[in-house]
Amino acid sequence: MYQRIGGAAYKAGLDTSIALATLFGNPHKAFRSIHVAGTNGKGSVSHLLASMLQRAGYRVGLYTSPHLVDFRERIRVDGEMISREAVTDFVGRYLAMGYGGSPSFFELTMVMAFDYFRLKQVDIAVVEVGLGGRLDSTNIITPMLSVITNISFDHTQFLGNTLPLIAAEKAGIIKPHVPVVIGEDAAEIHDVFVAKAAAEEAPIVFAEEQQQVKSARREHDRWIIETRDYGTIVDELSGDCQVKNAATVLAAVGELRKLGLNLLDEAVHDGFANVCEISGLMGRWMLVDDAPRTVCDTGHNTGGWQYLGRQLHNEHCRQLRIVIGFVNDKDIAHILEMLPQEAVYYFTQASVPRALDCHILADAARAKGLNGDAYPTVADAYCAALAASTADDMIFVGGSTFVVADFLSFKGR
């Protein structure tokens, strides 16, 4: 499992995915789909699109990764997780087929999702790329719309160590004649997308050029976004990065309308305002407690932390306490430089083999002027932060998807 052990479990290429899908009668061809790639934001964008489509009256499948607490979070229909019975039924059918290959966890889970979506007769599925794009297992689909949220440095050992190389891998989801929305544009990567879209004769839309978002202000842990064509939108996702995600989503909505989907403004507004309840999204600047104010976020690379670091710097509280841990294949030096030095730190490690040792993290952080103690588990770190807090403090938990997963499991969420 890549989720647990990292690069050693990574399998590039589509041969196994194609073989597995064929074994199950190519279930991905039974419904329309939207394909979402990008370094950051693809989970939020996927859930927002699913939420709006559901509110518009469509039966919607949603495939995302990784999960936080329950494996079944990865596969949803109309916001409801796949049943335990459906999981065991699929595995039983797979084993009975006697397939001779060795599919990865992700490949098998993806085909399980597509098989389930076909069984549930979804109208449309929102499919989040796992890693990269060109060689990701999900790239066997031919969607009605492709979305690429942004490009920054992550998984460079697989995708390349320059932004144009990473962009080229993400651009691999662009299909012949299928429109593509690019969320964030940059001079360094613009031509990569333009060239790939031209080669595939795919209409290309840059969300930033549409200038849908006129202004945005945060009120009560929500964004109030004034838009060009959709009026005032209340966005339940309040992280700093979510304004750009909103612009990406609105550009995608415009393309989906051109493709004939009946996405009224009411569905768009409702989808933004209630995305967590509708789609089951967790872990995106997620408010867990009020006193002390406790927030968790799954941001885990430099692209994500350029927003999280700034947001934490701007928080107003008596004392900011940060429970933080990383996996051992991340470039943490740049992330540590983005963290506020006035915070008290609780360095920890998640319960996965990939977790960076909390003592190694603490030493690296102290070298950057960040002070705190090391704790062997996320629960220990959080409890220590909570015990030291007053009602006017703030606790942030993050650094890794797996730290957030351990935290939410401990909290019983």
Report yes or no: 110 and 63 within 8 Å, Cβ to Cβ. Answer: yes
One domain, residues 254 and 318: no
Give pLDDT, residue 350: 96
Instruction: Tell which of 227, 244, 279 closes a domain.
Output: 279
Give pLDDT, residue 302: 84
One domain, residues 236 and 88: yes
pLDDT tops 50 at residue 5: no
* β-sheet with 372-374: strand ranges across: 286-290, 293-297, 394-398, 320-324, 344-347, 372-374
Give pLDDT, residue 155: 47
Report yes or no: 134 and 143 within 8 Å, Cβ to Cβ. Answer: no
**Average pLDDT rounded to a whole number, residues 49-62:** 98
* Boundaries of domain holding 330: 286-411
Query: How many Cα atoms within 13 Å fall on the side-chain side of residue 62?
Result: 34
Instruction: Tokens for 299, please give them.
Output: 């941001």
Q: Which residues pair with 321 in a beta bridge?
A: 344, 395
**Average pLDDT rounded to a whole number, residues 240-245:** 93
One domain, residues 254 and 132: yes
Give the SS3 label for residue 155: coil
**Average pLDDT rounded to a whole number, residues 166-178:** 95
Q: Given pLDDT bands bounded at 50, 70 and 90, which one contains residue 9?
A: very low
Integer Cα distance of 70 and 259 in angstroms? 34
Give pLDDT, residue 1: 46
Give pLDDT, residue 11: 56
Instruction: Tell which of 249, 279, 309 closes a domain.
Output: 279
One domain, residues 270 and 367: no
One domain, residues 60 and 131: yes
Q: At what angle do helices 42-55 and 265-273 cross, to 10 degrees?
A: 130
Q: What is the CATH number of the domain that holds 322?
A: 3.90.190.20
216 alpha-carbon distance from chain centroid? 22
One domain, residues 119 and 257: yes
Tokens 């370094």, residue located: 39
pLDDT tops 80 at residue 266: yes
Give pLDDT, residue 186: 86
pLDDT tops 50 at residue 235: yes
Instruction: Tell which of 263, 279, 295 closes a domain.
Output: 279
One domain, residues 113 and 252: yes
One domain, residues 247 and 310: no
Integer Cα distance of 389 and 394 in angstroms? 8
One domain, residues 116 and 201: yes
How far is residue 68 from each of residues 75, 105, 405, 410, 412, measured CA to CA in Å? 13, 16, 4, 12, 12
pLDDT tops 90 at residue 382: yes
One domain, residues 110 and 238: yes
Quick: pLDDT tens for 273-332: 999 999 999 998 999 999 999 999 998 788 888 889 999 999 999 999 999 999 988 779
**Of 144-158, 216-230, 311-325, 382-396, minimum mean pLDDT range:** 144-158
Q: For the chain, what is the mean pLDDT?
A: 93
The helix (run of H) or strand (run of E) holding residue 99 is: none
**Of 6-20, 199-213, 283-297, minimum mean pLDDT range:** 6-20
Q: What is the CATH number of the domain that holds 182?
A: 3.40.1190.10
One domain, residues 196 and 318: no
Integer Cα distance of 180 and 261 in angstroms? 16
Integer Cα distance of 46 and 275 in angstroms? 10
Quick: pLDDT tens for 119-157: 999 999 999 999 888 989 999 999 999 999 988 765 445
* SS3 sequence of 327-377: ECCCCHHHHHHCCCCCCEEEECCCCCCCECCHHHHHHHHHCCCCCEEECCC
- The number of domains in the chain is 2
Give pLDDT, residue 164: 85
One domain, residues 199 and 314: no
Where in 175-334 does DSSP place strands (E)? 180-182, 204-206, 213-219, 222-227, 232-235, 286-290, 293-297, 320-324
Give pLDDT, residue 54: 98
pLDDT above 90: percentage of residues in the chain: 82
